[in-house]
């Protein structure tokens, strides 16, 4: 008994000493950690801070792209990604849950706002594996602020939003291949963390990535377990640096003219391809450019049809538009005599025969000027022979064909000059065999419109630093060559004008009332996949390069349509539906006054407002004019042109009376007279074609009122049937 008691005492003493020793060791360890802040070589303070220290990215805004007038073409807009927190550990107060508590109700509510079925949403909310949170894929990304606010009004626990910047293209399908688009690219850092970065994928967005893409900032802060900022804790912020802003040379108004015209031709003729470019004739500044097929840069819809910017990346045989530069070279060399004659029809090149486009029938003995007007291949062959192929080869170099223009867009094609054999030399002179890109043709055309000085085409006006507001890039017109003299340029324009005005000119469909147009048509054969030329009426690239006004060119418009679906029409029909409205509307928009070629006595108009209608009529009659009087009122309330302006004899003036306005008969009127009536009454005018009025939707004598829409159709003098016959006869092959 005594022995057991002693043993228990000894055991208790051992336990006491053991516990005391353990307590001493632990106490010493705690004192050491408190004194040094270290444990096993780790800085505990830093690790604790790191555990609750959060780092978030402050996204930089991508630079905005503007047109030349400051209209937004592409900009960053705030969007949101929706997420649902599923882990109940996120909730600290059951009365105010931070996780999804009712998946069925949540799925039903979200299905009203995102493009996802209720059942699919519910499946996400009941995902196996107990994830902390889930997202909803493409349907849950890119939500607008208004949708976010509507979802928040549903008061759904656990639903949260992640703010993101989304690229916004307010004009939709608008110079899409030029502007390009951006895309979120997934990237993984050295720690395995996946992030998404916005990068330009084509066009300006890609070429100027280094300017447009900003530098993201960072924010570091101490948070609780759930990531919320702890009170009275300081944030550490590195501000983001936003991207620089770009101003293009594009004018949105003119670009809209181009887009509308291309839309109409695409709908009516369903071509394989079509394009149009508008440029300043003396600077090379691109005011508008677009193509079909195109795509929507926001949704990428249509991008799968054609990724390429055809105006830069695609090289093609230009057809007879190349004759512009052969003509200019011949004039410069002094071998072009417009009155000299040649035998049209065929031209022998060794065993080969060059034929004019009417199957080699020709038009007999004609002048070289008429040869240009008719787009005779034989005329060009004879001119090449007179100046020698070697000399013309140098002009091809001087006009910089087969050389990239250096325009600020990716993947420019250089084209090629096929000039090794006599047949290739002749075919190159009239636009077959050798290839170009559209920018090279435009660049060469500036030598004709700018007194011999050739201007590099450019699309960037300036780039502005977002932080300082300073201009860091400022483009200026760039003379890249002088292949011809000023005198030659002027003579070339004179001849090209006759292509449009002459009775047998192939450019007659491109006449625009009130403006002198100089230009050249082209009908280039297309090469199939087997390397052979395609056959058939529609298998051509129909084109026209036009310059206006002829005596002092301000604009160049280059339009082309490939493989349109034609029905009893010439290839010029779809091209003119692009060129004519684009050139006419652009000239009027830029306030370029029509050329008055009629030399006649002018009459300065008096102020007739408030006077009796009969008295005004008498005064006009005394001046040799018969005014258009609208209405039956006995007093004049408005006159167009206004008092003090000068009116040519024979030109129409409009007097608006005080009562019962009725529509005059406009048959045979020029568009400028139609616009006078529209201006006086306040009509909204829409018109198609060129020339003179042949139909109007508001019949003569019908009552009219302000803001009514007037639709008219214009046509050149002569019947449509005769015009079609001539056009068809002149567009069988390369013109």
Straight-line distance from the first to the last Cα atom of the chain, in angstroms, rounded to the nearest whole number = 131
What single-letter DSSP state applies at residue 552?
Answer: S
| Percentage above 90 pLDDT, the chain | 46
What's the pLDDT at 511? 92
Structure-block tokens of residue 564: 């349109």
Stretch among 77-86, 170-179, 261-270, 307-316 having the lowest mean pLDDT: 77-86
What's the pLDDT at 671? 76
What's the pLDDT at 314? 93
Q: Give phi and psi for 438, each to the nearest 5.
A: -60, -35
pLDDT tens, 431-469?
999 999 999 999 999 999 999 999 999 999 999 998 888
60 against 158, higher pLDDT: 158
**Average pLDDT of the chain?**
84
- Mean per-residue pLDDT for 411-415? 94
What's the pLDDT at 376? 96
What does 193-207 look like in DSSP terms, one character per residue? -EEEEEEE-SHHHHH
| Percentage above 70 pLDDT, the chain | 83
Closest CA to 237 of 263, 255, 224, 218: 218
Stretch among 110-119, 503-512, 686-695 having the lowest mean pLDDT: 686-695
Question: What is the Cα–Cα distance from 350 to 332, expressed in whole angstroms?
Answer: 27
Closest CA to 344 of 372, 323, 365: 365
Say yes or no to pLDDT of 679 above 90.
Answer: no
Question: What is the Cα–Cα distance from 355 to 325, expressed in whole angstroms?
Answer: 20
Say yes or no to pLDDT of 297 above 80.
Answer: yes
What's the pLDDT at 126? 84
686 against 88, higher pLDDT: 88
What's the pLDDT at 546? 97
What's the pLDDT at 488? 97
Stretch among 115-129, 399-413, 425-439, 475-489 having the lowest mean pLDDT: 115-129
Q: Go through the domains of the chain in sequence order and give each one's CATH number.
A: 55-246 (3.90.1310.10), 252-279+287-441+470-551+582-589 (3.40.710.10), 602-720 (3.30.10.20)
What's the pLDDT at 728? 40
Kindly give the residue spans of alpha helices, DSSP state H, lying in 623-690: 671-681
650: pLDDT confidence band, cut at 50, 70 and 90?
low
Angle between helices 422-429 and 377-387 (to 10 degrees): 120
What's the pLDDT at 617? 74
Annotated catalytic sites, by residue? 320
Question: What is the Cα–Cα distance from 108 to 103, expressed in whole angstroms?
Answer: 9
Helix (H) or strand (E) holding 392: helix 389-398
Contacts of 2 (CB under 8 A, 6+ apart): none
What's the pLDDT at 38? 59
Q: What is the bridge-based pairing of β-strands 654-657 and 628-630?
A: parallel
- Mean per-residue pLDDT for 263-290? 95
Which range scores top for mean pLDDT: 405-409, 451-455, 660-664?
Answer: 451-455
Strands (DSSP E) found in 563-606: 602-604
How many other C-beta atoms lie within 10 A of the C-beta of residue 592?
15
Q: How many CA atoms lie within 13 A of 313 on its CB side?
A: 13
Q: What is the bridge-based pairing of β-strands 133-135 and 159-168?
A: unpaired
Contacts of 440 (CB under 8 A, 6+ apart): 400, 401, 403, 405, 415
What single-letter DSSP state applies at residue 135?
Answer: E
7: pLDDT confidence band, cut at 50, 70 and 90?
low
What's the pLDDT at 5? 64
pLDDT tens, 560-589?
999 999 887 888 889 999 999 999 999 988
- Mean per-residue pLDDT for 241-255? 92
Whether the CB-CB separation of 560 and 275 falls below 8 Å is answered with: yes
Q: What share of the chain is helix, strand, coil (3-state, %, to 5)?
A: 35, 25, 40
Say yes or no to pLDDT of 166 above 60.
Answer: yes
Dihedral of alpha carbons 216, 219, 220, 226, sign: negative
pLDDT tens, 494-535?
999 999 999 889 999 999 888 999 999 999 989 888 888 888
pLDDT tens, 590-642?
988 776 543 345 567 778 888 887 777 777 766 656 678 888 888 888 888 77
Question: What is the Cα–Cα distance from 278 to 276, expressed in whole angstroms?
Answer: 7
Closest CA to 710 of 683, 682, 674, 675: 683
What single-letter DSSP state applies at residue 627?
Answer: -
94: pLDDT confidence band, cut at 50, 70 and 90?
confident
């Amino acid at each position: 008994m005594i022995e057991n008691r002693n043993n228990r005492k000894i055991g208790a003493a051992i336990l006491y000493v053991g516990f005391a020793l353990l307590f001493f060791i632990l106490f010493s360890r705690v004192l050491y950690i408190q004194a040094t802040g270290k444990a096993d070589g780790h800085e505990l303070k830093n690790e604790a801070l790191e555990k609750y220290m959060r780092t978030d990215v402050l996204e930089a805004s991508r630079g905005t792209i503007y047109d030349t007038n400051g209209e937004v073409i592409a900009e960053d807009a705030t969007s949101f990604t929706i997420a649902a927190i599923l882990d109940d550990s996120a909730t600290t107060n059951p009365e105010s849950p931070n996780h999804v508590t009712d998946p069925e109700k949540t799925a039903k509510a979200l299905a009203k706002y995102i493009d996802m079925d209720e059942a699919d949403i519910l499946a996400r909310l009941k995902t196996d594996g107990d994830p902390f949170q889930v997202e909803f894929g493409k349907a849950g990304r890119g939500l607008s602020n208004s949708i976010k606010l509507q979802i928040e009004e549903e008061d759904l626990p656990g639903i949260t939003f992640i703010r993101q910047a989304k690229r916004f293209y307010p004009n939709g399908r608008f110079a899409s291949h030029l502007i390009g688009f951006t895309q979120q690219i997934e990237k993984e850092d050295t720690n395995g963390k996946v992030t998404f970065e916005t990068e330009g994928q084509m066009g300006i967005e890609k070429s100027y990535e280094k300017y447009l893409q900003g530098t993201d900032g960072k924010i570091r802060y101490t948070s609780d377990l759930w990531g919320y900022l702890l009170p009275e804790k300081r944030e550490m912020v590195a501000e983001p640096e936003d991207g620089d802003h770009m101003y293009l040379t594009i004018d949105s108004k003119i670009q809209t003219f181009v887009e509308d015209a291309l839309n109409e031709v695409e709908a009516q003729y369903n071509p394989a391809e079509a394009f149009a470019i508008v440029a300043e004739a003396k600077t090379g500044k691109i005011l508008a450019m677009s193509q079909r097929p195109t795509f929507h840069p926001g949704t990428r819809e249509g991008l799968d049809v054609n990724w390429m910017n055809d105006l830069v990346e695609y090289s093609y045989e230009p057809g007879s538009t190349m004759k512009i530069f052969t003509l200019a070279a011949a004039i410069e060399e002094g071998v072009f005599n417009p009155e000299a004659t040649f035998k049209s029809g065929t031209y022998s090149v060794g065993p080969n025969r060059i034929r004019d486009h009417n199957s080699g029938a020709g038009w007999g003995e004609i002048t070289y000027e008429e040869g240009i007007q008719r787009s005779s291949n034989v005329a060009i062959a004879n001119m090449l022979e007179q100046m020698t192929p070697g000399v013309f080869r140098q002009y091809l170099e001087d006009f910089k064909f087969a050389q990239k223009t250096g325009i600020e867009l990716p993947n420019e094609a250089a084209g090629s000059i096929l000039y090794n054999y006599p047949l290739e030399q002749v075919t190159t002179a009239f636009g077959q065999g050798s290839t170009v890109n559209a920018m090279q043709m435009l660049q060469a055309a500036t030598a004709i419109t700018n007194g011999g000085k050739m201007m590099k085409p450019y699309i960037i006006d300036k780039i502005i630093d977002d932080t300082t507001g300073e201009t860091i890039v400022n483009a200026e017109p760039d003379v890249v060559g002088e292949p011809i003299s000023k005198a030659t340029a002027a003579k070339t324009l004179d001849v090209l004008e006759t292509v449009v005005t002459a009775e047998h000119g192939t450019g007659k469909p491109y006449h625009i009332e009130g403006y002198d147009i100089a230009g050249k048509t082209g009908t280039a054969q297309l090469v199939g996949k087997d390397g052979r030329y395609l056959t058939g009426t529609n298998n051509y690239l129909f084109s026209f390069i036009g310059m206006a006004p002829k005596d002092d060119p301000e604009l160049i418009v280059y339009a082309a349509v490939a493989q349109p679906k034609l029905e009893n029409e010439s290839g010029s029909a779809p091209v003119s539906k692009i060129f004519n409205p684009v050139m006419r509307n652009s000239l009027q928009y830029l306030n370029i006054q029509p050329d008055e070629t009629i030399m006649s006595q002018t009459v300065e108009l008096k102020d007739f407002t408030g006077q009796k209608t009969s008295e005004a009529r008498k005064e006009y009659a005394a001046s040799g004019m018969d005014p258009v009087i609208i209405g039956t009122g006995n007093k004049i309330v408005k006159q167009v042109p206004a008092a003090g302006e000068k009116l040519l004899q024979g030109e129409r003036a409009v007097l608006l009376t005080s009562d019962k306005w009725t529509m005059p008969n406009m048959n045979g009127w020029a568009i400028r007279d139609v616009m006078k009536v529209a201006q006086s009454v306040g009509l909204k005018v829409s018109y198609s074609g060129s020339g003179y009025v042949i139909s109007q939707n508001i019949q003569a004598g019908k009552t009219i009122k302000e803001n009514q829409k007037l639709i008219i159709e214009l046509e050149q003098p002569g019947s449509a049937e005769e015009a079609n016959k001539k056009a068809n006869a002149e567009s069988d092959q390369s013109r």
